[in-house]
């Protein structure tokens, strides 16, 4: 069932009774529907974060902090709750738990890019030259966009307008200070073959959080199969 939160500013899939005890935050370019099997039978809401699942995108380039502020407004009337966050939704969950600890009883995180263990690689020299020339009007914006699509990730190429600006902003965020401020218990469940959020970086974040870290053999990044089942298992244990 679809419900509205935060005075209609946030739409969410709802299961069970009100007030919810679980809030599920989805990954980039996904929706709250990803959590249907994970929260089945629970009192839960799975918001469709702005820009996804039919929700309008923000007017400006939000970072994860702005998303966390909106989620905080949504759950404040009935919190505290357990937050389960996947990928981008996990970034938002970390901001939320660090800045609004009174609203979060526990976190279950999966596939969340929280730490970069090596410096980010620079764009290819050829692309940097193209970008330099385009800034000076020597090359067209259309040519620059074609080169961006050639060198960009699948998520970057799929994003348009403000969502692309949001993506660039979020992937360059640093969460170390927020991880140090989280007081709620945390459990982390990772796919062994997750390339979007590698397990070694996940383990490093788990050490900062003193979190239990579980690796699901053969699983990748998306919430499906064995990874989905493992996340539900951890969530049920936390609630119990």
What is the per-residue pLDDT for 53?
87
pLDDT band per the 50, 70, 90 thresholds, residue 214: very high
Residue 203: pLDDT over 90? yes
Dist CA 155 CA 176 (whole Å): 24
What pLDDT score does 116 carry?
A: 73
pLDDT confidence band for 106 (50 / 70 / 90)? very high
Res. 12 pLDDT band, cuts 50 70 90: very high
pLDDT digits over 18-47, tens only? 899 999 999 999 999 999 999 999 999 999
Segment 113-137 mean pLDDT: 67
pLDDT at 158 over 70: no
80 preceded by cis ω (within 30°)?
yes
Torsions phi, psi for 189 (to 5 deg):
-125, 120
Dihedral through CA 152, CA 224, CA 14, CA 49, nearest 10? -10
Superfamily of domain 2-118+174-239: Alpha/Beta hydrolase fold, catalytic domain (3.40.50.1820)
In sequence order, the β-bridge partners of residue 91 are none
CA atoms within 13 A on the CB side of 185: 9
Closest Cα partner for 1 from 12, 14, 11? 14
**pTM of the complete model:** 0.86
* Cis preceding-peptide flag for 34 (omega within 30 of 0): no
Nearby residues of 119 by Cβ (< 8 Å), 6 or more positions away: none
Share of the chain above pLDDT 90, in %: 71
Tell me the domain boundaries of the chain. Answer: 2-118+174-239, 126-164
Give the pLDDT of residue 239.
95
């Amino acid at each position: 069932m679809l419900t509205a939160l935060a005075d209609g500013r946030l739409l969410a899939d709802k299961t069970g009774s009100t007030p919810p005890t679980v809030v599920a935050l989805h990954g980039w370019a996904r929706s709250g529907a990803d959590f249907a099997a994970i929260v089945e039978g629970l009192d839960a809401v799975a918001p469709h974060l702005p820009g996804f699942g039919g929700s309008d995108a923000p007017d400006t380039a939000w970072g994860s902090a702005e998303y966390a502020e909106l989620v905080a407004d949504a759950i404040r009337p009935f919190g505290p709750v357990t937050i389960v966050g996947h990928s981008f939704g996990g970034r938002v969950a970390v901001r939320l738990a660090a800045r609004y600890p009174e609203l979060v009883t526990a976190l279950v995180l999966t596939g969340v890019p929280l730490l970069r263990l090596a410096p980010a690689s620079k764009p290819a020299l050829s692309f940097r030259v193209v970008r330099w020339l385009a800034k000076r009007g020597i090359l067209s914006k259309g040519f620059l966009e074609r080169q961006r699509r050639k060198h960009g990730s699948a998520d970057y190429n799929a994003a348009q307008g403000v969502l692309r600006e949001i993506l660039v902003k979020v992937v360059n965020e640093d969460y170390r200070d927020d991880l140090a401020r989280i007081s709620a218990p945390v459990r982390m469940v990772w796919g062994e073959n997750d390339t979007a959020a590698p397990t070694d970086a996940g383990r490093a974040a788990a050490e900062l959080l003193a979190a239990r870290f579980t690796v699901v053999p053969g699983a990748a990044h998306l919430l499906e199969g064995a990874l989905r089942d493992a996340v539900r298992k951890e969530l049920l244990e936390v609630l119990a």
